[in-house]
Amino acid sequence: MELEGNSEPTILEMRSITKEFPGVKALDEVSLTVKVGEIHAICGENGAGKSTLMKVLSGVYPFGTYAGDIVYQGKTVKFRDIKQSEADGIVIIHQELALIPLLSITENLFLGNEPTKRGVIDWVSAQKMARDLLARVGLSDDPDTLIKDIGVGKQQLVEIAKALHKSVKLLILDEPTAALNESDSQHLLDLLRGLKGRGITSIIISHKLNEIEAIADEITIIRDGKAIETLNVRDDGVDEDRIIRGMVGRTLENRFPPRIGDVGEVLFEVKNWNVRHPLVADRMVVKNSSFTVRRGEVVGFAGLMGAGRTELAMSIFGRSYGVFQSGALFKDGKEIKVTNVQDAIDNGIAYVSEDRKALGLNLLDDIKRSVVSAKLSKISKGSVVDKVEEYQASERYRKSLRIKTPTVYEGVNKLSGGNQQKVVLAKWMFTDPDILILDEPTRGIDVGAKTEIYGIIRDLAAQGKGVIMISSELPELLGVSDRIYTIFEGAITNEMSADEADPETLMKSMTSTEKRAPKL
């Protein structure tokens, strides 16, 4: 099928798609056209309707639950479930990967579709097919390897290998690089380019605008459930600022808030911290690490995935990870004993996990309960929670952090990623911490919500708190931090002020134990 005035064939048209949930119109007559063999990006703020649109396309939301038409390969389709869309060559890879950790790569690749011989699973054929599929996505791992034993980047490639086995024609990826480091992200983007060269069409949803600018042929921007515009990256001269303007309806003049510059005395100090891997006795995940955080200071930690940043943070937060070997913590110059999470909270330390859904929130709770959950003693009389104080506290944070929801009785599972992250921040701010550890605080959220989170971080620093921020995005670290440490293989390799640092210097220190002076 071809569009009038355009010689390039189209593989997909979504015409006036409208999808409503109780009280919410998630999609309002959204139209989308995707050409054969292109990489088409969909951008928009959290809650704009991007994932909902793709769930409509893939049959997660079946025909009859939405209005409008889907024309695929020249025919109107009415998918009633995801199996029907996959049978037609449409495969969606969700942000939360659909892999079973305790099964092998082979078992995951063919789950529900195992090759058989005389009614019995033919594992010899499955192994051979698995090796061929893994080779196509650039993986050399043994197909017998358990999913839990490979990194997130490789798990993404396994998902794509599954899609290739299903003879994919249209591949949909929802935030495929959100949890990946720069190297794994680049490998995945190169793979998508390779698939494009073989005629496979891709639709990618991502908040990493630099990646979108680099890989996409066209970009459709969705705002508040409506398709605002479709941009041709090459012909329209698209850059990040242009995408942002379409997403938020305005130009973000200052994506990073100004530094206050009023940094005080040393508030928190870690000395000679050593932590062993919880399962591998001879592997040290944190090696003799020492650093300081001053009052009113944002201290960034840069490192590649697996460098030991999260392990360091979690071990400090009440020895939540690994086997503690040695080291000491000091607050205001006095040594503190932190052997469990409650000790950490009592000493004014808070930790915002990189995985808000698994470790930061109970998705069965509402906002009200989530906000107060880390320190119920603040609003309890005896052992009974004061419901009035619970409501007042959560409502105060709903307003001050601008959490987009009409009521604190809303379930956190119904919030967008950015608003979920604000609830996690509220939960730990409620504990009145002096030191706040933020692990990938803007992962998987849109640029508008990121700017709001940056403002919250700077506000916390302005209140005299010490903030430790772990991030895989170097521009973010450079824009928000006052000072940056780099980590490589569990050891701190460098320390520099954000004004002295640049991406090249940080990357060198993130990939070598050799200490290097920052570029001046």
Q: Which of 327, 450, 299, 426 is nearest to 368 (CA)?
A: 426
Q: The dihedral of CA 69, 71, 74, 76: what is its sign?
A: negative
In this prediction, residue 515 carries a pLDDT of 52
pLDDT (0 to 100) of residue 416: 79
Q: Read off the tokens for 392.
A: 């007042």
Task: Measure the CA–CA gap between 312 and 321, rounded to whole angstroms.
Answer: 8
Structure tokens at 413: 């599972």
Place of tokens 């599929």: 133
Q: What is the pLDDT of residue 251?
A: 58
**What pLDDT is stored for residue 193 in this prediction?**
92
Topology of domain 263-348+434-512, CATH? Rossmann fold (3.40.50)
1-89+169-251 CATH? 3.40.50.300
Give the pLDDT of residue 447. 77
DSSP state of 377: G
> What span, in angstroms and rounded, lies between the C-alpha atoms of 403 and 425?
11
* Cα distance between residue 204 and residue 170, in whole Å: 11
In degrees rounded to 5, what are phi and psi of residue 460? -65, -40
Angstrom distance (rounded) from CA 192 to CA 39: 8
User: Residues, the chain, total?
Assistant: 520
* Residue 2 pLDDT: 45
Q: Per-domain residue ranges for the chain? A: 1-89+169-251, 93-168, 263-348+434-512, 358-432
Residue pair 154/180 in contact by the 8 Å Cβ criterion: no
Query: How many other C-beta atoms can be found within 10 angstroms of the C-beta atom of residue 290?
Result: 14
Task: Assess whether the region 1-89+169-251 and the region 263-348+434-512 belong to the same CATH fold.
Answer: yes
What are φ and ψ of residue 241, in 5° steps?
-65, -35
Which residue type does 137 have?
V
Pairing of β 466-470 and β 298-302: parallel
Q: Can you read off the two tokens belonging to residue 169?
A: 């024609």
Chunked mean pLDDT (size 10), the chain, 520 residues: 58 95 86 95 84 93 96 96 93 84 92 86 92 89 90 85 89 82 81 91 89 92 90 86 79 72 90 92 92 96 85 95 95 96 95 84 92 92 90 92 88 85 91 94 79 89 94 88 93 92 85 53
**Which residues have a Cβ under 8 Å from the Cβ of 487 and sit 6 or more positions away?**
289, 301, 302, 303, 307, 308, 309, 312, 493, 510
Q: Is 318 left (phi over 0), alpha (psi -120 to 50) or beta?
A: left
Contact in structure between 51 and 30 (CB atoms under 8 Å)? no
CB atoms within 10 A of CB 82: 16
pTM above 0.75, yes or no: no
Is 441 strand, coil or helix? coil
**476 to 44, 248, 420, 479: CA distances (angstroms):** 19, 19, 20, 5
pLDDT on residue 296: 94
For 286-354, give the secondary structure using H, E and C: EEEEEEEEECCCEEEEECCCCCCHHHHHHHHCCCCCCEEEEEEEEECCEEECCCCHHHHHHCCEEEECC
Nearest to 85 by CA among 47, 58, 121: 58
Alpha carbon distance 142, 149 (integer Å): 11
**Residue 210 CA to chain centroid, in angstroms?**
15
